[in-house]
Chain A
Amino acid sequence: GAVVSQHPSRVICKSGTSVKIECRSLDFQATTMFWYRQFPKQSLMLMATSNEGSKATYEQGVEKDKFLINHASLTLSTLTVTSAHPEDSSFYICSALPRGNTEAFFGQGTRLTVV
């Protein structure tokens, strides 16, 4: 199946710093990528939808200035958590939707810990 690579898998950062998470589709072009956040023992919450070459669409309650999403190419989307706080600590997962497909492929996730 199609492969989505998410990097890094784990990151620890200090409060106030910014962290960038990359999501790459390795063997297909993804016109749409999704970013999810998962709190412990809870479901995945959709944060935003990014389409290549256009601004991301954020879900209600998600601060777009805090969670910057860039979908610069058909194979790469990045999520930058700016001025991170401990409450941003979470598991972030991206998924990529190939053109014309109904199945989205997920990355392995990034465990972010803000200390």
Chain B
Amino acid sequence: GEDVEQSLFLSVREGDSSVINCTYTDSSSTYLYWYKQEPGAGLQLLTYIFSNMDMKQDQRLTVLLNKKDKHLSLRIADTQTGDSAIYFCAEIISSNDYKLSFGAGTTVTVRA
């Protein structure tokens, strides 16, 4: 099964906040990442959090990490139509060479 799990779809109204959730299995993960993928494009790193942090805020993005429950979330404040994309969470599965394990991705649709 998947090492990293995410819900597949999220629909949100423009201007509202979006919260995307992710659970991971490797308790030794050092870094956890959020990537954004727009249609037909590669991946864009949005933000990352080190495992000894509980929260990281970067403009409209807030990452929360609950290490005990192995739960990671990404909150997007004031969601805009340009935020419509697939969002992947990922964890490092190998600290030697920084291999990443990705979740299946959450498709976020922003409606007017």
Q: Which of B11-19, B40-48, B53-61, B68-76 contacts A (4 or more CB under 8 A)?
A: B40-48
B102 touches A97 (CB 8 A): no
Chain B, interface size category, equals 20 to 34
CA distance A109 to B42 in the complex (A): 5
Contact string, A33-69, partner B, CB cutoff 8 A, digits 1/0? 0101000001111100101000000000000000000
Least CB distance, A47 to chain B, in whole angstroms: 11
B42 touches A107 (CB 8 A): yes
A46 touches B99 (CB 8 A): yes
With a cutoff of 8 Å between Cβ atoms, the chain B residues found around residue A93 in the complex are: 42-43
Indicate if B64 sits at the interface (CB-CB under 8 A): no
CA distance A98 to B101 in the complex (A): 19
CA distance A111 to B41 in the complex (A): 9
With both beta carbons as reference points, the residue of chain A lying nearest to B31 in the complex is identified as A102
With both beta carbons as reference points, the residue of chain B lying nearest to A44 in the complex is identified as B102
Contact string, B89-109, partner A, CB cutoff 8 A, digits 1/0? 000100001111111110000
Binding site for B on A (CB under 8 A): 6, 32, 34, 36, 42-46, 49, 51, 93, 95, 97, 102-109, 111
Binding site for A on B (CB under 8 A): 2, 4, 30-31, 35, 40-45, 48, 88, 92, 97-105
